Amino acid sequence: MASAFVFSQNMTRYDYGPWHPLRIERLELTLRLMEAYGLLGGQEVSMVAPQPAERKTLERFHSSPYLDALQAANTGKPFPGLEQFGIGPGDNPVFQGMYDWSCLVAGASLEAGRLVAEGKAQVAFNMGGGLHHARPARASGFCYVNDPVLVILSLLDRGFKVAYLDIDAHHGDGVQWAFYDTDRVLTISLHQDGRTLFPGTGAVEEVGRGPGTGFSVNIPLWPGTDDWLYLRAFEEVVLPILEAYKPDVVVTQLGVDTFHGDPLASLDLTTYGFERLIQQMKKSFPRWVALGGGGYELTNVARAWTIAWGIMIGREVPDEIPQEAMELLKAHGYAKDRLRDDYLWPLARRDVAEEFLETTIHRIKKTIFPVHGL
């Protein structure tokens, strides 16, 4: 069964603005690195061009007044009243084509979901997706349309049992709240502790409400969490819960702002840990809809998502970067030492992170595990 790479070159034609941390050029950089490794051809790879999502599809989650505002702002010209929808200077700027961009990203994620649901791909990857902060009537955290929620809703419509796993440094709040009151979706988020990072949510105590109690799982991590601590959280908490829940499909948000050197977060992952994390996913997930997410050091993003895609299609990505791609990465500030697994992190910071994780795992095993018969 082929693995589907869902992408449109039109995704690279938008720009949040010269001073905004979310650089759309990271998609082009990742694409070029994948091409240099020869990862976008072969019988096991299906290249799929998506269509933009229609407004009626966006209305499954987003309110009509909010979508009206997004459409009106598509010209790139701000106007009074946008602030009530979280749109304006700062995180969620007005830029030309913002509604078109949002529809295209959502359409790509929905296409990835459709391909997996119909058995045309075991895994489908939309690296432009994963905009997990958007709320029904408000933009948040660089996100205007919540494509993970739309994908999950489409899978539920088909009768699938769905789990959502978010490994972005920022808590997957928009997706969590969308399904907070139901046991129809299991949401799991590993993220930097909300007391130290936007959006300030994702505490262990956020476990769901009513029939959803025990189906929202939050694993906050202290700044300084490295590969080994992150993998421990994944193996001791995430895998057992997923195994007990037995989803038909897993939707993942693969943000890589968890990496050491990311300008917006303070975790210490490297490609070493990330690669092993994705290998675990490949081995454990029955069907997999993979979405992108955060990542604000561009060469980290390109390297990490290239490794992830290689694992998804069963090909090894050598440590040595092809020369033509290396020149491109260097032009964007690539420094190999930033990604080495043997970098010596400050031990005091790591000790605090380890103690914090111990407490987190204990609390989850006490509150969440019993709900799932663990």
Which residues are catalytically annotated? 133
Assess whether the previous peptide bond of 18 is cis (omega < 30° from 0).
no
In 3-state terms, what secondary structure has residue 143?
A: strand
Residue 186's beta-bridge partner residues? 163
Residues 6 or more apart from 243 whose CB is under 8 A from it? 284
Q: Tally the residues of the chain.
A: 374
Please compute Rg for the chain using Cα positions.
Answer: 19
DSSP string, 272-317: HHHHHHHHHHHHH-SSEEEE-----SHHHHHHHHHHHHHHHTT---
Q: How far apart are CA 156 and CA 162, in angstroms?
A: 7
Tokens of 181: 């009151």
E strand map for 9-139: 45-48, 123-126
Closest CA to 111 of 85, 136, 129, 92: 129
